[in-house]
Amino acid sequence: MSLGSFTSADCRFTDRDIANWNRDGAVLIENFFTPEELAPVLKDFEVLYGDKAPGAQSSARDNKKSGSIGQFEVEQFAHFDDMPFNCSPALNLLGMHPALAELARAALQAEDVHLYQSHSWAKFTGGADYDQTFHCDFKNHTLIAPSDDVRERTINIMIYATDVTNEHGAIHYVTQPDGDTVMNGRRPQFPDDTEQAKLKPLEKSGAAPAGSIFAYGIDVFHRGTNLTLPGARRYTLTASFKRAGNELIGWSAWPYHFMKPWETIFAHATPEQLALIGIPLPGHAYWTQRTLARTKERYPDWNADPYAGALRAAE
Ligand SMILES: O=C(O)CCC(=O)C(=O)O
Ligand SMILES: [Fe+2]
């Protein structure tokens, strides 16, 4: 496959990254975002979650029997929220960053992709025991099983706003070929204890510095791990993409979250970024004088000029 049609001059990944994605179902790309891009994002995480830390001296919680691996617990998701967020545009627009959309287009071999899920997540040492069993994430992305066709799959991208070492609860994962060997190609939501024990020695760590991203598919076995460094925090944003129009995949429709601050996104996103959440581009037949006026009434700070300009040009 030539990446030429999916990539730009400002491309932040290589052919090799896409080859790894195609082979392993997952790829870690270090330093995808710059410290300058991350600084305002980190401020936003502090606005949302800074007061949730259990205290500088807090130590790791680990309630497991020795030798066993973890499980899902509600406490792990105590500081977890869907986009949009009550903070500045920086965090709100990070999941819609053009470089992520470009990666998604190349990984899914699609001209047009949609962001269908994005959540921020803060974990703190002592906040919970974050150690999970191996699982796949497709249970809440589709009602059936992931497609065999890469173009109908998803790319779930975890963006690290803070350094994520193993002591900061790095995600652990098993590549597709290794997972297939252990599981004979099966994808149960939760492998049994014997299978968990066989997956364990094959796990790789997604540890990487702040600004890195870890992209994985919904059929890759992985698990969260515990934060063990005293007083540490891990801030991540997830951005999940699918081919536009892929009805196999969903989370909830964005308007379900209609009470959230969409005006922040409309006031700051480009038309290309808004297209990632299903807003027709300028020039699309949806835009008429009436739809423009009504949308502008809903989001007064939205810049309707490119849409109005395209409409005038067509008239
Ligand atoms: O946060 C992580 O490192 C992974 C968590 C996870 O896989 C999940 O909750 O489904
Ligand atoms: Fe997961």
Residues 6 or more apart whose Cβ sits within 8 Å of residue 154: 108, 116, 141, 146, 217, 218, 240, 241, 242, 249
Q: Give the tens place of pLDDT for each residue, 147-171.
A: 999 999 999 999 999 999 999 999 9
Residues with CB under 5 A from ligand 2 (ion): 137
Q: What's the CA-to-centroid distance between 79 and ligand 1, angstroms? A: 13
b/e string for 105-114 if b means 16 or more Cβ within 10 A?
bbbbbbeebb
In contact, 215 and 159? CB cutoff 8 Å: no
| Positions in the chain short of pLDDT 50 | 1
Query: Of the ligands numbered here, which is closest to the C-alpha atom of 214?
Result: 1
Determine which residue's CA is closest to atom 9 belonging to ligand 1. 224
Instruction: Give the pLDDT of residue 1.
Output: 47
C-alpha span between 121 and 80 (Å, rounded): 4
Strands of the sheet containing 172-173, edge to edge, are 204-205, 172-173, 222-223
Query: Of the ligands numbered here, which is closest to the C-alpha atom of 166?
Result: 1
Determine which residue's CA is closest to atom 4 belonging to ligand 1. 224
Q: What's the CA-to-centroid distance between 226 and ligand 1, angstroms? A: 11
- Domain spans, the chain: 4-260
Atom in ligand 1 nearest the alpha carbon of residue 123? 1
Determine which residue's CA is closest to atom 10 belonging to ligand 1. 137
Q: What's the CA-to-centroid distance between 162 and ligand 2, angstroms? A: 19
Distances (CA, A) of 83 to 80, 87, 120, 219, 252: 10, 11, 7, 23, 11
Instruction: Give the pLDDT of residue 56.
Output: 67
CATH of 4-260 given 3.20.20.70, 1.20.120.80, 2.60.120.620, 3.90.1150.150:
2.60.120.620
CA 26 to chain centre: 13
Instruction: Give the pLDDT of residue 241.
Output: 98
Determine which residue's CA is closest to atom 5 belonging to ligand 1. 224
Atom in ligand 1 nearest the alpha carbon of residue 223? 7
- Sign of the torsion angle spanned by Cα atoms 113, 119, 120, 126: negative
ω before 98 within 30° of 0 (cis)? no
DSSP string of 206-246, one letter each residue: --B-TT-EEEE-TTS-EE---B-STT-EEEEEEEEEEETT-
* Residue 81, H or E segment: strand 80-82
Q: Give the tens place of pLDDT for each residue, 198-229.
A: 999 999 999 999 999 999 999 999 999 999 99
